[in-house]
Amino acid sequence: MSASEKAIVLSKIKYRDNDLIISCYTQHRGLSSYLIRGAFKSKRPGSIAYYQLLSQLEIVENYKPNQALNFIKEVKSSYVYSTLHTNVIKSSIVLFLSEVLANVLKEEEQNNLLFDYLETALQWLDSENNYANFHLLFLLKLTKYLGFYPDTNNMELGVFNLQSGYFQSNNTHVYAISLENNTLLKLLLGMNFDALHTVKLHAEQRQAFLNMLMQYYELHLGYFKKPKSLQIFNQVFK
């Protein structure tokens, strides 16, 4: 069955000598994987370039239910990035976030709100010059679609508990976050990307908050593993 589909590339791996296997998050079916035959010997201009990490595509797929790998008959960019794959810092963000997304997006079912969020957020990153804290807000907002967004009731109680997902008065609990991270969390909750320029952080603050977010993901997603690119990514933002 042939069908048109919008897709965001999450991961890719070379298969055999000339083939490529890609994993995508699609608009109508959630997670889906494709085998691109002859990808590395295709004479068609830009064929490999379509499948860069987090690229936004419009594809015509040959889809069969219950088949692990499907096939792409036609492909074009649904949005052409200007800077995401050419700016060194943004490329590092792409590498890191694609690894996180490939790790956490497991559902093979439609989620329009999540797809729209990914699409819009990545386009914002592509177009903006002030993006140093983008990954922090991106990952925080992503928890809303994964089902463990922090409970914003009783924020006045004091400190956020990573395990429960609630704010509490006990700041000595083993999963209570630091006061500095707590202040930043309260600042980011409810913030949109356009307001990010108002958040001024130094590298150590940014790294501490990111590490806290990774622990939060680990506690609420039993299958989550810290990205291999995390250490390199933190080096880039020093």
Question: What is the radius of gyration, based on Cα positions, of the chain?
Answer: 19
> What pLDDT, on the 0 to 100 scale, is given for residue 45?
46
Adjacency order of strands within the sheet including 2-15: 30-36, 19-26, 2-15, 56-62, 71-79
* SS3 at position 42: coil
Strand runs labelled E in 16-124? 19-26, 30-36, 56-62, 71-79
Amino acid at position 40, single letter: F
Query: Which residue bears the tokens 């309260």?
Result: 186
**Tokens representing 141?**
């907002």
Helix (H) or strand (E) holding 234: helix 230-236
In whole angstroms, give the CA distance from residue 40 to residue 63: 22
In whole angstroms, give the CA distance from residue 107 to residue 223: 13
In whole angstroms, give the CA distance from residue 154 to residue 3: 47
> What pLDDT, on the 0 to 100 scale, is given for residue 39?
79
In whole angstroms, give the CA distance from residue 225 to residue 95: 15
For residue 208, the 8-state DSSP code is H
**Tokens representing 231?**
């250490």
Q: Which residues, other chains included, contact 37 with Cβ-Cβ below 8 Å and sequence gap of 6+?
A: 18, 19, 71
* SS3 at position 14: strand
Could you tell me how many residues make up the chain? 238
In whole angstroms, give the CA distance from residue 28 to residue 176: 38
> What pLDDT, on the 0 to 100 scale, is given for residue 57?
97
* β-strands 30-36, 71-79 pairing: unpaired
Instruction: Per-residue pLDDT tens, the chain, 238 aa: give them.
Output: 678 999 999 999 999 888 899 999 999 999 999 999 887 776 654 578 899 999 999 999 988 888 889 999 999 999 999 999 999 999 999 999 999 999 999 988 999 999 999 999 999 999 999 999 999 999 999 999 999 999 999 898 889 999 999 999 988 899 999 999 999 999 999 899 999 999 999 999 999 999 999 999 999 999 999 898 888 887 777 6
Most distant CA pair in the chain: distance in Å?
Answer: 63
